[in-house]
Amino acid sequence: MTRPLEFTILATHNLARASIMRLPHGEVKTPVYMPVGTKGAMKGVTYQEMDDLGCKLLLANTYHLAYKPGGDLLEKIGGLHNFVNWKNNILTDSGGFQMVSMSKLTEVTEEGVTFESPYDRSTMHLRPEDSIHTQNQIGADIIMALDDVVRTATTGPRMQEASERTTRWLDRDIAAHKRKHDQNLFPIVQGGVDPKLREQSLNDLIQREANGYAIGGLAGGENKVDFWKTVVQCTTKLPTNKPRYLMGVGYPVDIVVCSCLGVDMFDCVFSTRTARFGTAFTDHGFLKLRNNQIANVFEPIQKGCQCQACKYFTQSYLHYLISREEVACHIISIHNLNYLIQLMLNLHQSIIDGKLNEFVNGFLKTWYKREGKIPQWVIDALEYAKLPIEQL
């Protein structure tokens, strides 16, 4: 590779695109869902199983890896790929999200963030330079700029401060990045759901050349109309020849709609977190395997699914296991991860085949069949993407 990232658009359907993203550890078809292995490991799923599922790109978190096993150890062994024996690509978050998820334990200043460890009460000072240094040690294929993250619903001076500080920190991120030849630094567009702040952030970040861009600050409880309009504001402004990553979004309907709006990459813990509570993804929506009526259903989670869970186990058996054995979470996690990976591969192929409209309508009709109605925000977003939706 002449660069650490090459992005080739194979086909488009209005805003949606099917592409190949070439990274140091192999090719990734986009749109793509990235499973989240926060601490360098998937909860309840091995790396071999992830490879068997066809996962080509997964996410790990700099904040947690910096605590344990630590950047120095990972650098010594040659990076996270070698440490966990993973041959495919890795993206690392910067630690910025922990400003929200651990807000009671953080203090943010212009210099950086001070965290109180949830593990041993020790203090971590995380500056942009520190985040990038640790990510250089981890050796991920894509690394994220440290951004000033606030809750989506935040308004007024604090949101403006966070958005503008994100740009200032980006300049420090870029200056600290020592592995430009084999690691891709993605800036993160901020600004909440304020169109003016988003526009300013977009303008600032586009001026700073990058191999790809992320859209941050969403999936935090905002109104769905604000959500999709903010997404499309970003995708229509960001460079067409660079991948676009919507952070923290992994609900099946959301990733289908946002793929149609021009997003290329997604991540979320939702698939494995719901699995631990006994909920499986299906074409007909969510299947709650704890429900008592499942005890007499001797069918797989989803007919036709080729994952190991559906090949070998019935809903009845999983219902029996879910409150008794941890292996049930493992089995359901494999199914949910497979569901999202295959959903994106099928959407990718539908764009290439010129059948995206057919694919999306089929997906929505099945997903919302029980409710009997497709939400208006979904219809409006897809109309903007020039994909006419047939109501149920």
Was 190 annotated as part of a binding site?
yes
Least confident among 2-6, 19-23, 195-199, 230-234: 2-6
Q: Band the pLDDT of 39: cuts 50, 70, 90.
A: confident
Distance in angstroms (rounded) separating the CA atoms of residues 72 and 152: 34
pLDDT, tens digit (0-9, with 9 covering 90-100), for 249-292: 999 999 999 999 999 999 999 999 999 999 999 999 999 999 99
For the cut 90, the answer to whether the pLDDT of residue 332 exceeds it is yes
For the cut 70, the answer to whether the pLDDT of residue 104 exceeds it is no
Contact between 42 and 50 (Cβ < 8 Å)? yes
Was 26 annotated as part of a binding site?
no
For the cut 80, the answer to whether the pLDDT of residue 106 exceeds it is no
What SS3 class is residue 345?
A: helix
Was 329 annotated as part of a binding site?
no
Was 221 annotated as part of a binding site?
no
Give the pLDDT confidence score for residue 264 in this predicted structure.
98
- The alpha carbon dihedral of 365, 369, 373, 374 has a sign of negative
What share of the chain in percent tops pLDDT 70?
A: 96
> Do β-strands 123-126 and 142-144 pair in parallel, antiparallel, or remain unpaired?
unpaired
Was 94 annotated as part of a binding site?
yes
Q: Band the pLDDT of 121: cuts 50, 70, 90.
A: confident
For the cut 80, the answer to whether the pLDDT of residue 98 exceeds it is no
Contact between 138 and 65 (Cβ < 8 Å)? yes
What is the mean predicted confidence (pLDDT) over 321-350?
94
Backbone angles phi, psi at 361, to 5 degrees: -65, -40
For the cut 80, the answer to whether the pLDDT of residue 105 exceeds it is no
Distance in angstroms (rounded) separating the CA atoms of residues 386 and 357: 9
pLDDT, tens digit (0-9, with 9 covering 90-100), for 194-250: 999 999 999 999 999 899 999 999 988 899 999 999 999 999 999 999 999 999 999
Distance in angstroms (rounded) separating the CA atoms of residues 33 and 28: 10
Give the pLDDT confidence score for residue 93 in this predicted structure.
93
Give the pLDDT confidence score for residue 293 in this predicted structure.
96
Catalytic amino acids? Answer: 93, 267
What is the mean predicted confidence (pLDDT) over 358-387?
97
What mean pLDDT is reported for the chain? 93
Q: Band the pLDDT of 179: cuts 50, 70, 90.
A: very high
For the cut 60, the answer to whether the pLDDT of residue 1 exceeds it is no
Which uninterrupted H or E stretch holds 16?
strand 16-23
Q: What single DSSP character describes residue 373?
A: S
Partners of 6 in the β-ladder: 22
Partners of 214 in the β-ladder: 188, 245
What is the mean predicted confidence (pLDDT) over 5-30?
98
Q: Band the pLDDT of 102: cuts 50, 70, 90.
A: low
What SS3 class is residue 214?
A: strand
